[in-house]
Structure 1
Amino acid sequence: MAEEENPVDEGPLRGFRFPPEWDARYPSQHQTAADAPPGYITLFEDFLLQGNFRLPATEFMAHILHYYGFHISKMSPPGMVRVRHFEFLCRSHDIEPTVERFRVFYQLIRNMWFYSFGNRGSAKKILLNPLKSFHDWKQKFFFI
């Protein structure tokens, strides 16, 4: 008998109130982030809890993913924090966030199977405070 998946309203994401038709759920005990069922994508809890990511995603996020050519489930939470922080800064100054502007400050970094963004060498840092630590983020995911 297959183990049943647990809906996210039973875990730390219950406060986000995903619409029932999204059928967001945690994986069963032996599933990995790569085991998303057909029709689902994998998202990491820290995207929402520490990265301020929300669904539906913004057009800027879609442009970032399209430009760099990877799926959102391959982005690390620290990468998500950098993208969202950049977008917040732009919008707070009435500047449209674009991939071209983002690339002035950040460069793509691949760490094993995940992607993140690091400061571009000569660019002024725009995220001055260190990122919060992300413990075991690869094990904290759900399907939506």
Structure 2
Amino acid sequence: MAEEELVQVAEGQLPVLKWDQGFFVQIMRGFQFPPEWDARYPRQGQTAADAPPGYITLFEDFFLQGNFRLPATEFMASILHFYGFHISQMSPTGMVRVRHFEFLCRSQGMEPTVEKFWAFYQLIRNIGFYSFGNRGAAKKILIGPPKSFHDWKMKFFFIREEVIPITMIFRKSHKIEKEELPIPKGADWYMNLLATPNRIIGEHVLVAAQMSDKWPETSEEVPVLKFNGEGMCYFLFLFL
């Protein structure tokens, strides 16, 4: 069932751990988790719902497919606060849409806001997890979104809740109203956000776009986007 369909489906049990600890270590090292975040590889038999008190659950594909980084940006925090669900309840598909939108806005020199995001996307729920479907009357701004993620619910870890310094709640209401909103088709910002492909974005580009602060202090490179030795805007990067 496509996540874009505005329907509710029966709940399913969360699957148990199913990924190699070596990949977890690569995540910690590759994305520079400091020791105080206390990222934990789950024990066998645990599920994503078994985060200890004071910890949250995150999924591998948030980072590898959704361009998510810690600490989370203010825009990500505002999305979680506005829609009222916990990041552990978000699917990787939802993460892709949020982070793509954030990058697309920044590539056009505008600050991403919930109000702008809301014009394009409707909150949806699929098998207990939250994502965002295209709003019917709005233009589509994400080309080729991923249709599925293999075993993503089984590839999770626990980390201190302080890494996202907002109060997050576990949304319990199953009902999501379909929103009929006027589309701001005449607004300059709406017209400037053009349809672009989904891309896995390199760290230097995310840093330059203020979507990650993970850049080696010892690096002699500057986190800017270049192509064939020349500076290039972020927007064109999405089409390379």
Common topology (TM > 0.5)? yes
1:112 equivalent to 2:127? Answer: yes
Letter in 2 for 1:105: F
Misfit runs of 4+, over 6 Å: 6-9
Q: Which residue of 2 aligns with 1:134?
A: 149
Q: Return the offset for 1:76.
A: 0.2
Show CA shifts across 1:69-108 (max 9, x none).
0000000000000000000000110111111100111110
CA distance in 1 between partners of 2:127 and 2:24 (Å): 31
Give the Cα–Cα distance (whole angstroms) in 1 for the partners of residues 36 and 95 of structure 2: 25
Q: For 1:1-144, what aligned pairs fall within 5 Å after superposition? A: 11-13=25-27, 14-131=29-146, 133-144=148-159
**Partner AA of 1:51 in structure 2:** G
Higher helix share: 1
Q: How many residues align?
A: 139
- Name the aligned partner's letter for residue 96 of structure 1: E
Q: Aligned partners of 2:64 and 2:128: how far apart in 1?
A: 22
Unmatched 5+ stretches in structure 2: 1-19, 160-240
Percent pairwise identity: 79
C-alpha separation in 2, matches of 1:7 and 1:112: 26
The one-letter code sitting in structure 2 at the alignment partner of 1:43 is L
Note if contact 2:39-2:157 (Cα within 8 Å) is conserved in structure 1: yes
**In 1, Cα distance between equivalents of 2:126 and 2:147:** 18
Task: Report if the CA contact (8 A) 2:31-2:69 is conserved.
Answer: no
Q: Which has the larger radius of gyration?
A: 2
Shift, 1:113, TM fit: 1.1
Higher relative contact order (CA 8 A, sep 6+): 1
Alignment root-mean-square deviation, CA:
1.8
Matched to 2:68, the amino acid is: F
TM-score (normalizing by structure 1): 0.90
Separation (CA, whole Å) in 1 of partners of 2:57 and 2:22: 13
Match of 1:3 in 2: none
Consecutive unaligned residues of structure 1, counting only runs of 5 or more, are 1-5
